Amino acid sequence: MKSFIPAFRITKKSIPWLNMIFLMGLIIVTPVQAQEFSVNNKEYFEKQGANVLVFSNWYDGNFSDSKMSGIEIIHHGERTATNGDVRIHHTPEQWDAIPSFVERNVDAENGVIEAWLEYPDYDFEYKIRAEAKEDGIALSVHVDEAVPDELEGRVGFNFEFLPPAYFEKTYYMDQQTGVFPLYPTGPMNINEQGETEPTPLVKGKKLVLAPNDPTKRVTITSGISELMLFDGRAKAQNGWFVVRSLIPAGETGKVVDWFLEVNNLPNWMRTPVITHSQVGYHPSQTKQAVIELDANDEPLEKVSLFKVQASGDKKEVHAATPKEWGMYQRYNYLQYDFSEVTEPGIYVIKYGEQESDPFQIGENVFEKAWHPTLDIFFPVQMDHMFVEEAYRVWHGASHLDDALQAPVNHEHFDLYAQGPTTDTDYEPGEHIPGLNYGGWYDAGDYDIRTQTQYYVVQNMAGLWNEFAPQRDNTTVEHENKYVKMHSPDGIPDLQQQIKHGTLALLAQWRAVDHAIPGIVSAHLHQYTHLGDGVTKTDGLIYNPEMDSLESDGTYSGRFDDRWAFTTETTALNYGSAAALAAASVALQGYDDELASEALETAKMAWNREQNRDEPKDFRHGNTTGGNIWGEELKATVELLIANEEQKYADRVKEMLPEIEERFMFTAALAVRAYPFMDDEYKATIDELVSEYCANLKQFAGVNPFGVPITEGGWAGNGTIVNFALSNYQVYKAFPDQLDENCVFKALHYLFGTHPDSNISFVSGVGAKSKKVAYGMNRADYSFIAGGIVPGVLILPPDFPENKENWPFLWGENEYVISVGASYMYLVHAVNKMLEEK
């Protein structure tokens, strides 16, 4: 029964109890009036508890279908449906054809939103119309010309529903009933195109999803074509439940006619979220919780902090009226400062009926926060190595057959491309020896993206060169391609990880004499691989002269080897040189021979690029290096620190005008070079730092969390960590000018003080952390301890989201090695700052 009662909160400002009881009586006996949708000032349909977005968002052009487009439903605070659009497949996969967006028109006065789209390859255009009508949305598809012959019986209107929102819930299709399956088991079919596809779970004209759950109930009624319900997970683990109507052949005008009813609880309000650091706070830190409220909620007058006793009792130790920050995106925010509480212990925050997760206050709260990332996450990500943890084997020694030369003039998936030449001595398809060393699986995939690899090496080396953490909890035997976790071997683990990345970077220079964009699966069916990385290829070098089942222990006729994309770019050469220069310092005393090779390679690469008449500036996606000028500055500063030759200082000085122009982005490098530079340079940097620190205050007013939250197709934890590390470098050089909270807030954000939820984005770190993420084990709805996800994605126009029940949204949940490295650096930086306090 309580599911049908509106969400009330009783405060000192509430109606007196007698009136409250009377009001409850009215609710019980008075029929609930249906609430109609209207188009709000953010141009989507809204009624309390339910939103319907109509092409507020568009597919990510880089990665095709990212489940964030078309018609979408935000239902009682959760995005439960997406991709309402015309599609060619019953249950489209990520790389299947998507339409091109043409135009969108919003008529708020009449409650109509229309979008025009097309499939240019088929010369097929259509319009989708959404109109608020009665207590729902009338959805229709319109075409001026009939479906092309090649799309007859194939193209239809799809609407995709989030599986975990409907797991173990029931449905009606006309008079047929069913239960949404927890695991896909339905029969498959081979269509006329020879493609395997699911068969419908059920067909009919009226579908009711979750009839017994008023928070998830959605009704779809079709007036023209029948409805079909599919389980897309039978085709791909990241598939959704799909409701679909085929567009009839030979018809024009209105060809699909649905009526969409989204149930809403009367007067529904989202439960307040108390966001705070799940790890806790150092006694000397500013301690601020941020409370996220529904826009219709009324703030309470009191927030309390309770200390949890060993007996389990809770003692109130602090209380205050929260500060009203105001609206950010779709929610209202309050801030609660309890910095004056410094006594070590375990605490909870209470706001009304909500109580936070427990967190600590203590001098050592951050000391171990980086351990899972070094102990677990990075060993698991190590390519070309056998990795085991106690009884578990994470993966075998993968991709030992790396790699074949990629074909020229080829645009690949995942933003890889090969230019008009190989820039190597190898022909397309020929094996390039020596690339099966080092490197980490990039993100939740298995590719070796050089731009990511050198970012990780540079940050790890910077961490070692400043802090030299001696933690040893992993055995790494590079000569045997073997890793054993929770097994010390007498060598600091961070140095071993730096060596692993350095080997991958040097392998490229040894093999082809320059940095390369990277190594990735040749075939899409391999790229989408889930499971042990060793099973992606047979580990044997491909020989086209052999039969597909033939092998001799070194070669095989199985074409499963990855491709090396080898187009040379100046940006990649500089970026690789920067990392190798930093690594040359970090490896000294551990592997002096490798350290020497790394430094000599970095110097050679820098000299070559400095003397080049024209930079090699092949550009494609995010695999061909960053901005050339920025990559050059990184390499020059790292070589200056590693080698202290005057020519590097001279070049930094020459770059000073650009450093000034882009100081918000170059501050960290500029101040790291500071000790090696002349007085004129230092005077300029002194002025720039003053301006920089003054400009940082602007972030406090942008959002209630005080960090730069990005808005786009990839969430911004990486940007936030980089922002904090830049601030740390400035703070280290100019401690009297920069507010220490510009560093601390980023860590608090990662640990739970962020929009949407209060979960720690570092798996296994904090009282409540990320347990469902996009790692290599994502199909198991699991996690890798120490992995960091991208975080809160701001779905335009105003919806912050990070799903904990669905790992497959990579823009929110994909572990990335780059953030893992910079995160470890940030934790050490914060610990150092706190020790100095």
CATH of the domain at 301: 2.60.40.10
Mean pLDDT of the chain: 93
**Distance between CA atoms of 780 and 761, rounded to whole angstroms?**
18
Domain of 764, CATH number, reads 1.50.10.10
**Distance between CA atoms of 704 and 290, rounded to whole angstroms?**
7
Q: How far apart are the first and last CA of the chain?
A: 54
Of 513, 504, 517, nearest in space to 425 by CA: 513
Could you give the number of structural domains in the chain? 3
Confidence check: pLDDT of 15 > 70:
no
Give a yes or no: residue 625 inside a domain: no
**pLDDT band at residue 837 using 50, 70 and 90 as cut-offs:** confident
What local confidence, expressed as pLDDT, does residue 443 receive?
83
Give a yes or no: residue 486 inside a domain: yes
23-54 tens-digit pLDDT: 233 333 333 445 799 999 999 999 999 999 99
What local confidence, expressed as pLDDT, does residue 660 receive?
96
Confidence check: pLDDT of 658 > 80:
yes
- How large is the average pLDDT for residues 648-671? 97
* Beta strand ranges found along 345-385 (DSSP E): 345-351, 354-355, 359-361
- How large is the average pLDDT for residues 771-789? 96
What local confidence, expressed as pLDDT, does residue 17 receive?
30
Confidence check: pLDDT of 390 > 60:
yes
Same domain, 318 and 403: no
Final residue of a structural domain among 229, 262, 295: 262
* Residue 421 token pair: 């030449």
Give a yes or no: residue 670 inside a domain: no
Final residue of a structural domain among 230, 262, 294: 262
**Distance between CA atoms of 805 and 802, rounded to whole angstroms?**
9
Cis ω before 403 (30° cut-off from 0): yes
Final residue of a structural domain among 195, 230, 262: 262
Same domain, 255 and 328: no
What local confidence, expressed as pLDDT, does residue 711 receive?
86
Q: Strand 253-262 to strand 156-161: parallel, antiparallel, or no bridges (unpaired)?
A: unpaired
**Distance between CA atoms of 654 and 678, rounded to whole angstroms?**
12
Alpha carbon 677 to chain centroid distance? 38
- How large is the average pLDDT for residues 434-458? 96
Confidence check: pLDDT of 386 > 80:
yes
**Distance between CA atoms of 628 and 680, rounded to whole angstroms?**
25
Same domain, 302 and 167: no
Same domain, 160 and 229: yes
Same domain, 384 and 321: no
For every residue of 199-268, DSSP letters joined together read PPSEEESEEEESTT-TTT-EEEEESSSPEEEEEGGGT-TT--EEEEEEPPTT--EEEEEEEEEE---TT-
Give a yes or no: residue 602 inside a domain: no
Of 328, 278, 352, nearest in space to 758 by CA: 278
Strand partners, 102: none
Lowest mean pLDDT among 14-18, 397-401, 480-484, 616-620: 14-18
**Distance between CA atoms of 318 and 724, rounded to whole angstroms?**
29
CA distances from 101 to 62, 115, 138, 350, 819 (A): 15, 8, 21, 47, 33
* Beta strand ranges found along 55-187 (DSSP E): 71-75, 78-87, 100-107, 112-119, 124-133, 136-143, 156-161, 170-173, 176-179
What local confidence, expressed as pLDDT, does residue 376 receive?
98
Same domain, 218 and 320: no
Give a yes or no: residue 606 inside a domain: no
What local confidence, expressed as pLDDT, does residue 34 receive?
56
Same domain, 396 and 344: no
Give a yes or no: residue 458 inside a domain: yes
- How large is the average pLDDT for residues 736-757? 97
Same domain, 427 and 289: no
Strand partners, 100: 118
What local confidence, expressed as pLDDT, does residue 381 receive?
98
Same domain, 254 and 338: no
Same domain, 143 and 192: yes
Strand partners, 262: 218
**pLDDT band at residue 62 using 50, 70 and 90 as cut-offs:** low
Domain range for 793 is 371-568+678-836
Q: Which residues contact 706 (CB under 8 A, 6 or more apart)?
A: 699, 700, 741, 742, 745
176-203 tens-digit pLDDT: 999 999 999 878 999 888 888 999 999 9
What local confidence, expressed as pLDDT, does residue 61 receive?
65
Same domain, 323 and 431: no
Give a yes or no: residue 580 inside a domain: no
The whole model's pTM is what?
Answer: 0.94
531-559 tens-digit pLDDT: 899 999 999 999 999 999 999 999 999 99
* Residue 778 token pair: 């994502």
326 DSSP assignment: E
Same domain, 375 and 356: no
3-class secondary-structure state, position 287: coil
Give a yes or no: residue 436 inside a domain: yes
Q: Which residues contact 835 (CB under 8 A, 6 or more apart)?
A: none
Percentage of the residues of the chain whose pLDDT score is greater than 70: 96
